[in-house]
Amino acid sequence: MCEGRIRVWVGTMYSGKTTALLEYVMMRGDKTQAFKPAQDTRDDRDTIFARGGIGISATRVAHAGEILEFVDEGTEVVVVDEAFMLPGIVSVAQILRRKGLEVCLASIALKWDGTPFRNVAELLCYADHVVVCDEAKCTCGARASYNRALLPMEEDIVPGDGERYAPQCARCFVKPLPGVSDG
């Protein structure tokens, strides 16, 4: 049996994490299955896209447990994009690794309020390999470490791109906008 692995690419929005993950997986060339959260409503396509137009088809799942049902015999690499949106992903990544699969996940690590997503924090503890992607720049030009919300936010997870969030450096990052609950 192959030795399983958990590999995680983390970073802010626009940090290059999905591109780096897909480039790695395509370089591997093994039998791959990809998954993305059904909660990610930014587009309705069953594809994980990265910059440069590369993409791989993906199955949408609402809970990480569904991944276990979809993974075929013979699959060697399981790809998961936007892992922070998937409840149960920490256990599922470990189950797949125990079966000898390589699990490759991309995710932001911090919520819009600057605190960690708990499941991503745990994922990093269990990972065999972590890449922190740092291509995103703050408007001041410094390296971005946070995702700042540009609109009032009611929940931890609200899908969105540049209209809702902006990458921001540690110096410029400020706490939530006025009128937004600090919970």
**Which residue lies nearer to Zn ion by CB, 88 or 176?**
176
Which member of 130, 158, 172, 180 binds Zn ion (CB under 5 A)? Answer: 172
Q: Which stretch binds Zn ion (CB under 5 A): 37-45, 61-69, 148-156, 169-177?
A: 169-177
**Which residue lies nearer to Zn ion by CB, 62 or 142?**
142
Tokens of 145: 């470490």
Angle of the 118-126 helix axis to the 89-98 helix axis, nearest 10: 20
Decide if residue 170 touches Zn ion (CB under 5 A).
Answer: no
- The site string for Zn ion over 121-150 (x = CB under 5 A, - otherwise) reads -----------------x-x-x--------
Q: Could you tell me the CA-to-CA distances from 178 to 47, 145, 156, 173 in Å, in that order?
A: 36, 21, 16, 14
Determine the size of the site formed for Zn ion (CB under 5 A). Answer: 5
**Which residue lies nearer to Zn ion by CB, 150 or 172?**
172
Minimum separation from the CB atom of position 124 to Zn ion (A): 24
Q: Kind of pairing, strands 32-37 and 47-49?
A: unpaired
Please tell me the number of Cα atoms within 13 Å of 51 on its side-chain side.
8
Decide if residue 177 touches Zn ion (CB under 5 A).
Answer: no
Decide if residue 169 touches Zn ion (CB under 5 A).
Answer: yes
Q: Residue 131: which residues within 8 A CB-CB, separation 6 or more? A: 7, 8, 9, 10, 17, 20
Do residues 104 and 7 make contact, with C-beta atoms less than 8 angstroms apart?
yes
The site for Zn ion (CB under 5 A) is made up of 138, 140, 142, 169, 172
